[in-house]
Amino acid sequence: MTVGTGEAGLEAVGSLSPAAVVLDIHLPGMTGWDVLETLKADPSTASVPVVVVSVEPERGRGFALGATEYLVKPVAGEHLLAAVSRALQHTRAPVPGGTLPEGRSVVVVDDDPLALKLVRSTLEPLGWTVHTCSRGLDAADLVRAVNPSVVIMDLLMPEVDGFAVIDELRAGDTDSGPPIVVLTAKSLTSEDLGRLEGRIAFVAEKAGLDLASLARRLAQVAAAGEAETASGTSHETGDGGAP
């Protein structure tokens, strides 16, 4: 189904309940940004994956507003098909052989508002409860209060950095507490990796991050943590690689 305006697009999505939406930004009248924001604000359409295809290279804004994929024109047909395919996979449950268990939650610690929005817009449509924290100073208390399935931790923060928060969460017993995933723009040194060894599940780099892949790996880490808690075994250490 093709339409030429944002208003017609919203009407079509509401009446047809499509598997996905391919959205341009430069539209007559209502812009693509307005369409995307409206779709994600409406509970009846929020779960529909949106692939933005535009001449505007504003991927960050697109993901912050809830886009599942963002392609910059010109786009080859096979690349568009691949993006729609990834979007459909992203919407389905990321755990092989089952759906996301009820009650799974994540604490995201990052002082970058865009990073918090990206993680929230990626995980909430998949059923996660997302708790965010913009200060390392408050992070450990929030994690203890929420007891999430997994923690996503930035390393570069003012006042108290991610290393210090991880030290506090893993103080005395490196196997206790929820699994920790590091999501950072920092280039990790051998000393950094040594400080993290045995304390985290894996490291993901913000540059070029594949959000769908991150969601799948988080689900796997959370499931492994739940299984270890049930059996009384300790967390396995990750390989430190990006997803």
Spatial contact of 211 and 94, defined as CB atoms under 8 Å apart: no
- In this prediction, the residues of the chain whose per-residue pLDDT falls under 50 are 92-101, 234-243
Q: Can you give the pLDDT at residue 175?
A: 59
Q: Smallest Cα–Cα separation from 218: which of 86, 112, 85, 100? A: 100
Residue boundaries of the structural domains of the chain: 6-91, 105-231
Q: Can you give the pLDDT at residue 142?
A: 94
Q: Can you give the pLDDT at residue 32?
A: 96
Task: List alpha helices for the chain, DSSP H.
Answer: 6-16, 32-41, 59-64, 77-91, 113-123, 136-146, 162-169, 190-196, 211-231
Cβ atoms within 10 A of the Cβ of 58, count?
15
164-174, pLDDT tens digit by residue?
999 999 986 55
Spatial contact of 206 and 183, defined as CB atoms under 8 Å apart: yes
CA distance 197 to 192: 9
CATH architecture of the region 6-91: 3-Layer(aba) Sandwich (3.40)
CATH architecture of the region 105-231: 3-Layer(aba) Sandwich (3.40)
**How much is the pTM?**
0.58
Identical fold for domains 6-91 and 105-231, yes or no, is: yes
